[in-house]
Structure 1
Amino acid sequence: MNQEANTNRGGCRSWWRNCDVEADSEILAIDQMEDSIGPLDTHTTQIRQLIARFESCYHQADKEAERIAKAIGAGRRPTESSARPPKRRKELQNSRRILSRWCKNTTIRDLNLDVGGIRADQLLSFIGEPSPLKVWQVERVVDKVIEALDPNRPSHRMVLDLGDYGEPGAYPTGEYYRDDASFLEQTKNTLIHDTVDGRKARISLGLSIDLLMPCHWDFVGSLVTILKAIGGDLHPPRPFACCSRNLGLSPLCDRVRTISNTLRSFWRGSKRIKDIDRDVLASLGPATTVKRWLAASLDKTIRLQLEASSDFWLTFS
């Protein structure tokens, strides 16, 4: 056995930590494929690690899935860069410039900047009339953006103590802000009213700031919702999306699903599966046991993420 089957709450091997599910019959069958291979070589292990880090909510999830498929075909992990894509980096940089300047001078205007096409003056208008509480809340947003641009300057959680894969107690919450306890409580108690997969839901402003992710497909939309909530608009016309919350609204879902179909056609050796990408299929090359296992792993990971229950997010209501 190449992986110990004991790290996920559902008894899955650690490869499946980004799915947060119990091992079903298909996962067990895929694990058996792994066992039949014998000891994994370095390249195979590295590719499987890429799959274990794949997130369908990533703002370039389609490109990442294609990149992993090509790696499966080539038999080696591609060269990676820690640099953020230029468009997202610009959005983050401009968010920091606009909001940090407002925190220092709430009367500032005429900033010739935008975030995802939304002008600075429009973003700031969402906040409304300034107050000490609003400045403190916007500073927490700035902290999240700064962390995204410089991981050596981490932000501090207000509400969410879960780790990257749902580990409870992974992060201390609130203690850092004990000198601002009143602001913290008001932020935690401010509730945004929206929907999760069409069902009525609520999420606290504090939690939404904790969940403002720079790599998320709807970073700009999430930022707008948060700034409007700080300004008192707690009923956004567009549901708040973060992590798997409202993932179905992502414009990348259809493309990622097509890649999943293609992978499934490859590893099952089936020509009956519809909506596949011939170029992705060609990039996988001739089928081998290792390729079939890796393709099955990515296919299953994508399907589990896209089909995940939204009930978890309703527990915050």
Structure 2
Amino acid sequence: MKVSDRRIAEWWEAPGIEARDAFDEEILYLNALTEEIALPRWAILVRDRMPRWGFEPCAHRFLEGLEQVLAMIGAGRVWARFGGCGDVPLSVQRKLDAFGAALVQWSDNGGRAAGDPLVRRLGAHTADRAEAARAMGEVILGIGRGPAEVDAVLERWAERAQFSPARILVDGEEAPLAVIAHHPCAYTLLWNVERLAHCIGNGEPPSAVVCVPALRIAPKLDPERIAILREIGDSLADWLQERTPRTVIGQKVHALIGPRDEVRHWLVASLYKTLKLWQVHLDNVLGEKHDYLSLI
């Protein structure tokens, strides 16, 4: 199956790859294989679902999505994948809705919501805190209703906010609530909400952490996220070198990938390369250094 140049370029939309002239020798090698191997359509579609911008390690379900890609390689077919932009797990959405409802209820006069762990972070009920809490609650509830709804809520609050705490939360694209609303897929979503409530209650400058900055704090906030990513990468390297898996996760990775053939070898090498790009990026973000398998 012939693969268009445009599609090949789109595969590598990842850290360190800004244009075709940024392709390194490993990418050129993997791209060249697309013309040498009789690639079935399912393989092309699986390759399209591998990590790149829009399917990133900061997403709630990045690891679940990555496991799905491994399973697709083994099954020889493709299906919907978790972990993309805007993907919010039902469990997270449920907590988010509860947070939003509690904030709106507390903003009225405290009431029964005063005992909620989140709103306790807001401190004493005052007019400025109440306004900020209502803005926060309405934006959070809007996230579950889709981008158009949440943008309308943000715009409405940007126009009507009277006190400084609420204005800071909603004014501009980089305002904390705007950042959260436009990146609900970040694993830091609920942590950001709790953090903003704390900032309101303590009069601290509010901010939200998503995307690359969220990866910077992952070793403390969600250490397993990075550890499992690296272990999957190591397991793929072992598979490519026909080595016995060294860990239980490695055994599962190899089992998911399935039998060896040239199509799966190309897919596994491509997946390893995408994870390698992300891991090198993480090394730069975290100030670490790791050794990686060369594909050529």
TM-score, with structure 1 as normaliser: 0.67
Q: Which residue of 2 aligns with 1:9?
A: none
- Aligned pair count reads 266
Work out whether residues 5 and 14 of structure 1, in 8 Å CA contact, stay in contact via their aligned partners in 2: yes
Q: CA deviation at 1:89?
A: 2.8
Aligned residue runs from structure 1 range 177-216, under 5 A: 177-178=158-159, 180=161, 183=164, 186-187=167-168, 206-212=174-180, 213-216=183-186
Is the CA contact (8 Å cut-off) linking 1:56 and 1:306 kept in structure 2?
no
Partner of 1:97: 101
Alignment CA distance shift 1:39-1:285 (3 Å) = closer
Identify the residue that residue 229 of structure 1 maps to in structure 2.
199
1:217 has 2:190 as partner: no
Superposed counterparts of 1:1-317, under 5 Å: 2-5=3-6, 13-19=9-15, 21-22=17-18, 23-37=23-37, 41=41, 43-51=42-50, 52=52, 53-78=54-79, 85-103=89-107, 105-110=108-113, 121-151=116-146, 153-156=148-151, 177-178=158-159, 180=161, 183=164, 186-187=167-168, 206-212=174-180, 213-232=183-202, 234=204, 241-247=209-215, 248-249=218-219, 250=222, 251-266=224-239, 268-271=240-243, 277-308=250-281, 309-310=284-285
Closer/same/farther in 2, CA of residues 125 and 176 from structure 1, 3 Å limit: closer
The C-alpha deviation readout for 1:31-56, integer Å capped at 9, x for no partner, is: 23334336651x22332232145321
SS of structure 1 residue aligned to 2:202: coil
Could you say what secondary structure the match of 1:66 adopts? helix
How many angstroms does 1:223 deviate by?
1.4
Whole-angstrom CA distance in 1 between matches of 2:275 and 2:138: 31
Give 1:210 deviation, angstroms: 2.6
Question: 1:263 deviation in Å?
Answer: 2.1
Which amino acid in the other structure matches residue 58 of structure 2?
C
- Structure 1 residue runs of 5 or longer lacking an equivalent are 7-11, 112-119, 159-172, 191-203, 312-317
- The answer to which of 256-265 and 122-131 deviates more is 122-131
Do 2:235 and 2:253's aligned partners in 1 also have CA atoms closer than 8 Å? yes
CA contact (8 A) 1:101 1:108 kept: yes
Q: Deviation above 6 Å: which 4+ runs of structure 1?
A: 173-176
Percent identical among aligned pairs is 19
More helix by share: 2
* Distance (Å, rounded) in 1 between the aligned partners of 2:67 and 2:276: 15
Q: 1:281 Cα deviation (Å)?
A: 0.5
| Between 256-265 and 180-189, the greater mean CA deviation after superposition | 180-189
- Which amino acid in the other structure matches residue 89 of structure 1? Q
Structure 2 length-normalised TM:
0.71
Q: CA deviation at 1:257?
A: 1.5
Is this contact kept in 1: 2:128–2:163, CA < 8 A? no
Cα distance in 2, alignment partners of residues 233 and 272 from structure 1: 55
C-alpha separation in 2, matches of 1:176 and 1:143? 9
Q: Distance in 2 between matches of 1:296 and 1:71?
A: 15
Does the CA-based 8 Å contact 2:121-2:197 persist in structure 1?
A: yes
RMSD between aligned alpha carbons? Answer: 4.0
Q: Is the alpha carbon distance of 1:146 and 1:17 closer, same or farther for their aligned partners in structure 2, counting shifts above 3 Å?
A: farther
Secondary structure of the residue aligned to 1:231 is helix
Question: What SS class does the counterpart of residue 127 from structure 1 fall into?
Answer: coil
The whole-number CA distance in structure 2 between the counterparts of 1:274 and 1:298 is 19
Judged with a 3 Å threshold, the aligned counterparts in structure 2 of structure 1 residues 44 and 87 are, in CA distance, closer, same or farther, namely same
Counterpart CA distance in 1 for 2:268 and 2:131 is 47
Note the residue ranges of structure 2 that are not aligned, 5 or more in a row. Answer: 287-296
The structural deviation recorded for 1:187 is: 0.8
Local SS of the residue matching 1:277: helix
SS of equivalent residue, structure 2 residue 149 = coil
Q: CA deviation at 1:254?
A: 0.7
SS at match of 1:154: helix
